[in-house]
Amino acid sequence: MYAEVMIVTNTFFNYTVLAFANKIGWIENQKRYLFLSALTAGVITVVFSHSLFAIFLSFFVMISIAFWKKRSQIIKAIILTLLASVFAGGLLTAIAPLYDNSGNLFMIINFALIATGGLYFLTKNVLHLNIANSERELLYSSNVTLFGVSQELTLFIDSGNVCTEPLSNDPVHFVAAEMLQEILPYELFKAISEWEFEGSASLDKIPKEYVSKLRLIPIATIQKHKTWVIGIKYDQWLVDGQPLPKGYIVMTKAKEKFPHEADGILQSSSYFHLKKRSVG
């Protein structure tokens, strides 16, 4: 039982370190490769725990499996993974005295959770700082297609917009309603414009032929009140000639509140997607 817990703990820690490198480095490798490599390295580390060679072997096996499809970025992946490991190791060294009287199993599980939380916090803050320091670059021209009709839009990437559709975790972007009026079917535009959240979220008042392209999305207002809005799934969205990942558009009536007179604001993850494509 102890060995199984150690494997799970090592896998959990390894995956977090790899996910950090994958996110910060804009490597964007598939999560199944990260998990497989984390599990493999975890097994090697536990089975050969007394061998120094096995530790180095597990690291290089982990990197090879995780990023074999991104060989051109393997050096960056190694550096970022090492940095994440050093950060997590330093964090655990600092708190180790607090666990002097704790059992080994309890200490190991807590260390894994604390290291994971620390790396998650670091990832979020690094991403936010990268966006905040690059805001002058965040105004983009784009072409969005809804229901087969296209429209040119000028967009701003907002570091504060982290809204996602809860089931798919797809990003949610906000666009001024007046910019979508010409490309949305009239009856759909009218229905969404008149729709209001009244205690229960429902699409009953929306024409049935459009419902499959819509999702109800929870958001928090500036006043911290939770409400629901309607998200529209777009057919395609090209930003500076690069396709955005699938996601949803929410119509808003407050165009004048968008920065730099933009027509809409993109979700914060768009910055890293576009940055990765521009340097890849």
SS3 letters across the chain: CHHHHHHHHHHHHHHHHHHHHHHHCCCCCCHHHHHHHHHHHHHHHHHCCCCHHHHHHHHHHHHHHHHHHHHHHHHHHHHHHHHHHHHHHHHHHHHHHHHCCCCHHHHHHHHHHHHHHHHHHHHHHHHHHHHHCCHHHCEEEEEEEECCEEEEEEEEECCCCCCECCCCCCEEEEEEHHHHCCCCCHHHHHHHHHCCCCCCCCCCCCCHHHHHHEEEEEEECCCCCEEEEEEEECCEEEECCEECCCCEEEEECCHHHCHHHCCEEECCHHHHHHHHHHHC
Residue 269: its pLDDT value, please? 80
Tell me the domain boundaries of the chain: 2-132, 137-279
The one-digit pLDDT tens for each residue of the chain (280 residues) are: 567 767 877 787 788 788 877 776 666 677 888 889 888 988 888 888 777 787 788 888 888 888 877 666 778 778 777 777 776 655 555 555 665 566 666 666 666 666 666 666 666 655 555 555 555 456 789 999 999 999 999 998 877 788 899 999 899 999 999 999 999 999 999 999 999 887 677 888 899 999 999 999 998 766 667 889 999 999 999 998 889 999 999 999 866 678 778 899 998 888 767 766 554 4
Q: What is the pLDDT of residues 195-211, one digit of tens each?
A: 988 767 788 889 999 99
Residue 280: its pLDDT value, please? 47
Contact between 214 and 231 under an 8 Å Cβ cutoff? The reply is: yes
Residue 132: its pLDDT value, please? 52
Residue 211: its pLDDT value, please? 94
